[in-house]
Amino acid sequence: MKGFIFDLDGTIYLGDHIIDGAPEVIKALKGRGDKVVFLTNKSIANRKEYVEKLNRLGIEVELSEVINSNYITAHYLKTVMGEGDSAYVIGEEPLFEELADANIKLADVPASASHVVLGWDRQFTYDKLNNAFQAWRNGAEILATNPDRTCPVKDGEIPDCGAMIGALEGATGEPVKMITGKPSSLMAEYVLDNVLGMKADECFMVGDRLETDVKMANDAGIHSVLVLSGITTEEMLEGSEHIPELVLDSVKDLITL
Ligand SMILES: [Mg+2]
């Protein structure tokens, strides 16, 4: 039995289009007894929406098989926040929902927060930035859901959580060290221990991004598989410091291994 951790966008689907052969591969892996989990850094949708999308695209999946950066953020805060601690959150509704599900206390007064959470927020403002900055001045720990600079959309890309990180770093003058999504070891460990229940070297991470999917796998000792169906070209691969163990044209080729 092996564990397979799949990235979603660029690996399983591109926008609203399933990648050719993906449903068959997932079905075949599950059919032979392998375990499958889907990981995404995107913080502006909730896990249920991913389940619905995958089902609609022909991949049968349960809620427990989809993990996103919001979920890991909630899990992390639950383990580190003490009595009287509270979080100031920049992000969209799905992030707030995930934190509410985990009973994370939100700060009544932003500047008094013990933790600041940065997520992708398409209503990001100077006031929100200032709130986060004032909390930081008062000693709050800063964490972010994901480091992605941009998110690919039809006809291009738009700023992602990396832009919110950049704004706060510009004010504080220091890097945001704690990232909960890929490539963090937090996410890798959670998936190995709590979802798959397997050792790193029994698992494969299949994804299209070198600096998140491949880096997380390599750092954690998970076999890394890069697919060229998404963001990464062969040219980008040649110059990269993150070298995958295997390179496939698409997830479809996984079955031939
Ligand atoms: Mg991807």
Q: What is the CATH number of the domain that holds 101?
A: 3.40.50.1000
Mean pLDDT of the region 61-90: 97
Task: Kindly calculate the radius of gyration of the chain based on its CA atoms and give it in whole angstroms.
Answer: 18
Amino acid at 228: L
What residues are paired with 127 via a beta bridge? Answer: none
Q: Please tell me the distance between residue 123's alpha carbon and the centre of ligand 1 in angstroms.
A: 24
161 plus 191 within the same structural domain: no
Q: Please tell me the distance between residue 146's alpha carbon and the centre of ligand 1 in angstroms.
A: 13
Output the pLDDT for position 256: 81
Task: Of 159, 143, 153, give the one whose Cα is nearest residue 76.
Answer: 143
158 plus 211 within the same structural domain: no
Q: Is residue 53 part of a domain?
A: no
Q: Is residue 50 part of a domain?
A: no
Mean pLDDT of the region 99-106: 97
Mean pLDDT of the region 4-29: 96
Output the pLDDT for position 237: 95
Number of domains in the chain: 2
**Domain stops at, among 179, 208, 227:** 179
Output the pLDDT for position 109: 96
139 plus 228 within the same structural domain: no
85 plus 170 within the same structural domain: yes
Output the pLDDT for position 42: 92
Output the pLDDT for position 152: 80
For 104-153, the pLDDT digits (tens) are 999 999 999 999 999 999 999 999 999 999 999 999 999 999 999 998 88
Q: Is the dihedral of CA 86, 91, 93, 95 positive or negative?
A: negative
Amino acid at 242: H
**Domain stops at, among 128, 145, 179:** 179
Q: Is residue 172 part of a domain?
A: yes
Q: Please tell me the distance between residue 136's alpha carbon and the centre of ligand 1 in angstroms.
A: 31
161 plus 201 within the same structural domain: no
- Domain extent, residue 173, equals 70-179
Q: Is residue 166 part of a domain?
A: yes
173 plus 188 within the same structural domain: no
Average pLDDT across the chain, whole number:
96
156 plus 201 within the same structural domain: no
Output the pLDDT for position 155: 83
151 plus 84 within the same structural domain: yes
Angle formed by the axes of helices 126-137 and 161-172, nearest 10°: 50
108 plus 80 within the same structural domain: yes
Q: Please tell me the distance between residue 108's alpha carbon and the centre of ligand 1 in angstroms.
A: 36
78 plus 170 within the same structural domain: yes
- Owner of token pair 């995107």: 42
Q: Please tell me the distance between residue 227's alpha carbon and the centre of ligand 1 in angstroms.
A: 9
76 plus 154 within the same structural domain: yes
Output the pLDDT for position 162: 97
Tokens of 65: 């098989």
On whether the CB atoms of residues 69 and 43 are closer than 8 A, the answer is yes
Q: Please tell me the distance between residue 31's alpha carbon and the centre of ligand 1 in angstroms.
A: 25
**Domain stops at, among 179, 196, 219:** 179
Mean pLDDT of the region 235-246: 95
96 plus 116 within the same structural domain: yes
Specify the range with the lowest mean pLDDT, choosing from 83-92, 152-161, 236-245: 152-161
Q: Please tell me the distance between residue 6's alpha carbon and the centre of ligand 1 in angstroms.
A: 9
Q: Please tell me the distance between residue 10's alpha carbon and the centre of ligand 1 in angstroms.
A: 4
Q: Please tell me the distance between residue 84's alpha carbon and the centre of ligand 1 in angstroms.
A: 37
Is pLDDT at 257 greater than 80 in this prediction? no
Three-class SS of residue 230? Answer: coil
Mean pLDDT of the region 33-45: 95
Strand order in the sheet with 178-179: 87-90, 115-118, 141-144, 178-179
Q: Is residue 149 part of a domain?
A: yes
Q: Which residue has the higher pLDDT, 256 or 42?
A: 42
Q: Please tell me the distance between residue 9's alpha carbon and the centre of ligand 1 in angstroms.
A: 4
Q: What percent of the chain has pLDDT over 70?
A: 100
Q: Is residue 205 part of a domain?
A: yes
Q: Is residue 144 part of a domain?
A: yes
Q: Please tell me the distance between residue 216's alpha carbon and the centre of ligand 1 in angstroms.
A: 13
Q: Please tell me the distance between residue 11's alpha carbon and the centre of ligand 1 in angstroms.
A: 6
Mean pLDDT of the region 6-22: 95
Mean pLDDT of the region 49-76: 97
Output the pLDDT for position 213: 97
Output the pLDDT for position 69: 97
Output the pLDDT for position 255: 85
Q: Please tell me the distance between residue 207's alpha carbon and the centre of ligand 1 in angstroms.
A: 6
